[in-house]
Amino acid sequence: MPILDSYTSVVTGLFVRLQIDEYRTTSSSAYSSQILKFSDYDSSVIINGESYTPLGEFLSVTSSTSELRPSENPVTIALSGIPTNSINEIVHSKIKGSPIQIWRGYFTTAGVQIGDFTGRFIGSVNNYSIQEEFDIESRTSSHMLMLECASSVG
């Protein structure tokens, strides 16, 4: 973890890497391997040569407790604002069991990275759910994908 004593304020970012080995966009298309990389940070960041797409407030990750030893505490990741036409990709892909990693980065308020990225979670997707909110007045809907992730420590 970087030393943050000399900074008056810092910004953190969480960077999620989800590897789906059996990904497809329709029920009749062939499976392919797909790696999805996204973050709650406000700009693109490259980690190990891979660019992470900024989702900002559309991504939330449950909080964790700091412990001296690795623990098997689960993590839930919520992706909101998913377009209706992208739901097929979720339904027709095999997300359960997919490996997932979450990295944390520290930045100055000017966007300069402080230290290296640290691992926050390594595990796999245990289950997922899709939630829909429908606005009757505007006749529009928005979707949220909830990923329940089990730690590889357990």
d(C-alpha 11, C-alpha 99), whole Å: 27
Q: Which position has the higher pLDDT, 99 or 9?
A: 99
DSSP structural state of residue 8: S
Q: Is residue 124 over pLDDT 80? A: yes
Q: What percent of the chain has pLDDT over 70?
A: 94
Residue 28 has pLDDT above 80, yes or no: yes
Least confident of 36-45, 77-86, 108-117: 77-86
pLDDT at site 6: 82
What's the pLDDT at 108? Answer: 92
pLDDT of residue 3: 77
Local confidence band at 37 (pLDDT 50, 70, 90 cut-offs):
very high
Q: What is the pLDDT of residues 65-79, one digit of tens each?
A: 666 566 678 899 999
Of the candidate ranges 33-37, 43-47, 87-91, the one whose mean pLDDT is the lowest? 87-91
| pTM of the full structure | 0.86
Distance of alpha carbon 117 from alpha carbon 107, whole angstroms = 10
Nearest to 107 by CA among 57, 37, 16, 45: 45
**Residues 116-137: what's their mean pLDDT?**
91
- C-alpha distances (whole Å) from 62 to each of 74, 108, 146, 150 are 9, 23, 11, 13
Q: Distance between CA 110 and CA 8 in Å, rounded?
A: 12
Say yes or no to pLDDT of 30 above 70.
Answer: yes
Distances (CA, A) of 70 to 8, 73, 119, 153: 29, 9, 11, 7
